[in-house]
A and B are shown apart, each in its own frame.
Chain A
Amino acid sequence: MNLSEPVVYLSLLVFLPAVAALVLALLPRLTDDAFKCITLAVTILVFILSLGMFRLGAGIDFQAGVAEMQNLFQVDWIPTFGIQYFMGLDGISFPLIVLTSFLCVLAMGASWPINKHVRAYCILFLLLETGMLGVFMSLDFFLFYVFWEVMLLPMYFLIGIWGGPRREYAAIKFFLYTLLGSVLMLIAILMLYFNSDLTRLNAQQMVDAGIVTVAGDSTVDASFQAWVNSEDTLAQRFAEIAAETDPARRRQLHTFNILALQQMGQHTDLFEGEALLGKSLQWWAFILLFIGFVIKVPSVPLHTWLPDAHVEAPTPISMILAGILLKMGGYGIIRICYPICPQAGYDLAYFVCTVGVVSMVYGAFAALAQTDFKRMVAYSSVSHMGYVVLGFGVWSAMADTGYNADYWKMGVNGAMYQMIGHGISSAGMFFMVGVIYDRVHHRDLNQFGGLFAKMPVYSGFAVGIFFAGLGLPGLCGFIGEVFVILSVWKYSYVLAIISASVVILTAGYILWAIQRVYLGPEYKGPNGDALKPITLRELAIAVPLMVSAVVFGIYPDGLLRYMQPSVDRQVDQLAAWTQAYDERETAAKPLGDEDGQMASR
């Protein structure tokens, strides 16, 4: 038991907030500020733990430039159900984990104005953090699902107790939408689980799935053989089933291992069997999973919970909701949908892109129409997350591009960058809205104006953050959007032109909002006396957000260094799969065409 083992370090990272929540529940009655300080300290500690992995050469670290999963570990959790406690990090999940722990610190800092039932608030906040970190780290499909659901209840209470006037409606709407999505996801999980078969994987694929570890100088095959002969229960069952030669009596070795499912999706025909209505099993699984994730993203037409939830949620919860929770949908799509069901993804690529573009356009128009400041920011999230869906969907490695995956890589990298950038800018925007809401207690865009004169420092930061959301070059929103739009050009001109023009709409609603709120001669709305300059605490939250928005805008390599290898690797694998798939299909097709021609003659 020391911190240099992944199992200890990562578990500590995930469960430290939950343990702290338990301790808070058992503590005697303290002052409200004491509870807030303890919680803030815990979130800072978690942030430090996540930063600790940057320290190269330490017991546990996250190395830049490595594409494979790092710090993998697996422990049996529920052997009767075949569920493992299986976690690891790669370039896709690691930036999101750091983002999560970072935003949690800031959101806790933004929680100081909350004075109602502070202990309960802190407990729920910490439980939420555990759920979020767990989602990004787990590599067992079931563990993923459990963490996914763990977040629901704290979020429900955080919106339902500390929210605005229509909080109960918004909270249950959020809960119902997400639960419906996760029920669909559960059915997809069962479909994939019951059609999976570990024994179909070869030695290299078992290594890639994280089941067999190659120690030092030994070869892949040797490690695989050593694993099969080992005492491990999974290995024993594997050997037992693999030894059965009679195909009629052979059983399958099911698994929830996401990495193994990815290998099966890309290298075997296990998920290609026909399910319903002539569509393959993976097609249905993809649809179910995609709906589940897209509810979370959220994309039109499943986005309607988001404006309500955002408007009613307290400021820090809005920050978390926009900054992290929405990213889970995107993470699910890139980690689960595409690699496990490539055939369905290939088939539905245009559909996915269309969903993305429609969300972008619809979200932007809806944002233009809002008079509630927070609702406008909420719709801007719908629009910005559309870029993410679009970037993932751009399957440009097709036959006519010679299976060149470069633009696709650019799209997926852009989408991932957009997730991080939007995490910072949207959390910042919600915080900025929260700061003035705390002072004047309204959010009507038409009743603001002239804030620059009364709160110059605040307004400077706010305008900066809003420009980051707009996608101004030099700020974090720019890079992701540009990457995505560039990559779409190679895929579909129509979609590219539409998505590029969304930038104008975005500029429209953001500039118009800035004009109505910060510019103008003087503030005429209610509670004008309360417009005090920004406090030190608020400054301490605004500065890190602004700094990271600038840093990610001018030094994208700082993030891409960690992220790109993993993304590129996955896209390369999928491009290789596409080529193999097309070759298989074309090998099957000409025969049929010839038959047809002969018949017509």
Chain B
Amino acid sequence: MAVFNRRTLETLCSHTFYIELVTVNLHTLVDSLLSDTLETSLPLFRPELAICGTIVLMLLVRVIRCERFLPPFCLALVGSIVALWLALPSEGLAAWAELSSQETFTGMLVFDSLYAYVRVFLLAFAVLFVVLSQLTGIADREDGQDYFTLVLGATLGMCIMASANHLLTIFLGIEMASLPSYVLAGIVKGRRRSSEASLKYAIYGAGAAGVMLYGISLLAGVVGSAHLPTIARELSSLNIQAMLASSEESSIVMVLALGGLMLGVGLAFKLSAVPFHFWCPDVFEGASAEVGAFLSVASKAAALTLLIRVGVGLGYVQEKPQAELAIDQPATVAEVSTAGQPPTTFAALKAGSIVAEEGASDPLSPVRNFFVILVAIIAMVSCTFGNLAAYGQTNIKRMFAYSTIAHAGFMMMAVAAAVALLGRDTIHAQTAISALLIYMAIYLFMNLGAFAIVAFLRNEMQSEEIEDYAGLIRSCPVVAVMMTAILVSLVGLPPLAGFWPKLRVLQSLYEAGGPLLITVLVVAGINTAISLVYYLRVIKVICIDPEPDTRGPVSLGFLPVAYVLVVSLPVIVFGILPDTVANWADQATKHLFY
């Protein structure tokens, strides 16, 4: 027990930091800390600093009571645009391909091409989102500062999630992103549904955070570090299958697996993956549509990047050449799961040990197998459940909540494929990650567009029920057509943009192979057909059903229609010419593993 406590204590400091603490004197320590922070870390951290500055400025403006001259919207817009501008590489986006991975802030965060891409994505979303909030009028004069502060604060948290390299920063990032979201869910004051959503979200979030923190402490306690690459190195030095064989050491593996599972709970909560999705429909229904857009796009993107970080961080050691690994490993993984055993930690680890005996050489393959089985099964269940549950919804936001669950499941499939491929072919693993990035980018336009339309229509007709959209094509044809395009793209039909990421994910799954991932592939394919039914129902209501007599004229102003067009036209443009996005994503992942 004493040993355990000491180890837990160590993890409170980052690994490298701890080593320095015991070996060098204070002066050199401060010097190296300073140079690390000032010379390498902070320059790479400029966009985030710009966001921090904006937040502080917005709060100050309220203190000195001059929001009349400096409206919060302008501050937020300028701040996010500056941050986006700082995040874009000055040499053009092609510079991403040359970025090498670099640890910042003494290993707490990592800066690589993946993060560069995701950061641009998050900040671009922030800009679009700030504009949307102003157009729908949710951030009025009274709430403006609060609202934008929370949005930017959550964005900052998501940036940290996406670049986390340490179990503590993972926790910190998730909490920084979640806490503002709890408040945002209840930002519409005086609405009971809204407050209920907020409270539910906060309670679920707190529970998940507690479990995750416990899992982190278990992991760090056993391994002796919370720094992801160090954990991976430690894990690879353990002989997991031998440990499983001996009775007393197998309990250590069980603790590791339990820690991993508990960490997974926190991630699954952010991803709203089944079975941790219960908050999602309630929160989406209760919160305003704008917040729904924020949660479904930015929050999901950050959580998926984090999932990749954890999977890759724990399942892959950068320095080692990985060429000679077991080829048949996913096959063996799946045999276990298709034999009908539940995905318990024990079964999964057993699977890993079988594989490792055959493939022999890679000590981390049990870790990867554990991860792949877990993610693949959760992804399949989330995708299928989300699509089936969406079928019965009458509220459009609730329907989109389930659609988000299904899409998160689909994106998780890419993560499973990426980690499965990691063991034998890093180039194809990069393709799988690039599939995920394309998915995120396209999903931004689809969901932001959809929620923007829902928000604008809510302002016009005070309803978010699907049946109230009947015959919308007669009164506002442009919006109805764009909504149709978005919904069809969400199904994944070519030639709309939503098809290409799905194709890429299916390709990666096929490339990864093995019965488990082929099953995932088939499930993904069938889910496309299932999802058609409920998306098409909305299309039917909008385009085919007659207009109800009770509804007055619905007409959106010029600016909302223009905004909808700007956000949703890429759904069509990238559908016909997806090369641009695909190229960015490929650049972002080109040198991820070396």
Which A residues are closer than 8 A to B by beta carbons?
A: 78-81, 120, 145-146, 149-150, 152-153, 156-157, 160-161, 168, 172, 175-176, 179-180, 183-184, 186-187, 190-191, 193-194
Contacts and interface: CB of A to CB of B under 8 A. Distances in A.
A149 B495 CA distance: 8
B137 interface: no
A78 B511 CA distance: 20
Closest CB pairs A-B (n = 4): A80-B582, A146-B494, A183-B525, A180-B529
Contact of B536 (A145, A149, A172): A172
Contacts of B499: 149
22 contacts: A78-B577, A79-B579, A81-B503, A146-B494, A149-B499, A150-B494, A152-B493, A160-B540, A161-B543, A161-B544, A168-B540, A172-B536, A175-B532, A176-B529, A176-B532, A179-B493, A179-B528, A180-B529, A183-B526, A183-B528, A190-B510, A191-B510
A190 B495 contact: no
Interface in B13-33: none
B439 to A, nearest CB: 14
Given A175-B536, A194-B511, A157 B493 contact: no
Nearest to B531: A179
Interface of B: 473, 488, 493-495, 499-500, 503-504, 506-507, 510-511, 521-522, 525-526, 528-529, 532-533, 536, 540, 543-544, 577-579, 582-583, 586
Contacts of A81: 500, 503-504, 578, 582
A78 B495 contact: no
A153 B488 contact: yes
Nearest to A131: B495
Contact of B544 (A160, A183, A194): A160
Contacts of B493: 149, 152-153, 179
Contact of B525 (A152, A157, A168, A186): A186
B86 to A, nearest CB: 28
A183 B532 CA distance: 12
B494 A194 contact: no
Given A149-B494, A194-B511, A156 B528 contact: no
A152 B506 CA distance: 21
Contacts of B532: 175-176, 179
A106 B112 CA distance: 60
What is the predominant secondary structure among interface residues of chain B facing chain A? helix
Nearest to B585: A80
Nearest to A160: B544
A78 B528 contact: no
B510 A194 contact: yes
By CB atoms of chain A within 10 A, which of B543, B544, B583, B586 has the most? B544
Contacts of A193: 507
Contacts of A150: 494-495
A519 to B, nearest CB: 40
Contacts of B528: 179, 183
A153 B526 CA distance: 19
A156 B536 contact: yes
B13 to A, nearest CB: 43
A284 to B, nearest CB: 11
A80 B586 CA distance: 9
Nearest to A162: B544
Given A81-B500, A149-B494, 18 more contacts: A80-B578, A80-B579, A80-B586, A81-B503, A120-B473, A149-B495, A152-B493, A156-B536, A160-B544, A168-B544, A172-B533, A172-B536, A184-B525, A186-B503, A186-B525, A187-B521, A190-B507, A194-B511
Contacts of A80: 578-579, 582-583, 586
A180 B494 CA distance: 14
A79 B579 CA distance: 7
Given A149-B494, A194-B511, A187 B536 contact: no
Contacts of A187: 506, 521-522, 525
A475 B387 CA distance: 51
Most buried by B among A79, A80, A145, A150: A80
A176 B507 contact: no
A561 B503 CA distance: 40
Contacts of B511: 194
A115 to B, nearest CB: 15
Nearest to B526: A183
Contact of B529 (A79, A179, A194): A179
A186 B488 CA distance: 17
Contacts of B582: 78, 80-81
A146 to B, nearest CB: 4
Contacts of B577: 78
Contact of A78 (B510, B525, B543, B578): B578
A116 to B, nearest CB: 11
Among A153, A157, A160, A184: residue with most chain B CB under 10 A: A153
A484 B507 CA distance: 40
Contacts of B579: 78-80
B337 to A, nearest CB: 16
A410 B510 CA distance: 39
Contacts of B507: 190, 193-194
Contacts of A152: 493
B544 A146 contact: no
A120 B543 CA distance: 10
Contacts of B495: 146, 149-150
Nearest to A195: B510
Contacts of A190: 506-507, 510
Nearest to B481: A25
Given A78-B582, A149-B493, A153-B488, A176 B533 contact: yes
A533 to B, nearest CB: 35
A441 to B, nearest CB: 21
A157 B526 contact: no
A78 B536 CA distance: 28
A417 B433 CA distance: 49
B204 to A, nearest CB: 34
A160 B259 CA distance: 53
Contacts of B522: 187
A157 B533 contact: no
Nearest to B545: A168
A291 to B, nearest CB: 13
Q: Which of B495, B499, B529 counts the most chain A CB atoms within 10 A?
A: B529
B338 to A, nearest CB: 12
Contacts of B544: 157, 160-161, 168
A415 B522 CA distance: 33
Contacts of A180: 529
Contacts of A156: 536
A309 to B, nearest CB: 15
A179 B532 CA distance: 9
Residue among A120, A180, A183 with the highest chain B CB neighbour number at 10 A: A183
Contacts of A184: 525
B512 to A, nearest CB: 11
Nearest to A157: B543
B388 to A, nearest CB: 15
A505 B500 CA distance: 47
B330 to A, nearest CB: 15
Contacts of A79: 579
Contacts of B503: 81, 186
Contacts of B526: 183
B280 to A, nearest CB: 26
Nearest to B513: A194
Nearest to A145: B494
A184 B494 CA distance: 15
B529 A183 contact: yes
A389 B144 CA distance: 66
Contacts of A175: 532, 536
A79 B582 CA distance: 10
A81 B504 CA distance: 9
A172 to B, nearest CB: 6
A188 to B, nearest CB: 11
A480 to B, nearest CB: 33
Interface centre among A79, A145, A150, A190 (most CB of B within 10 A): A190
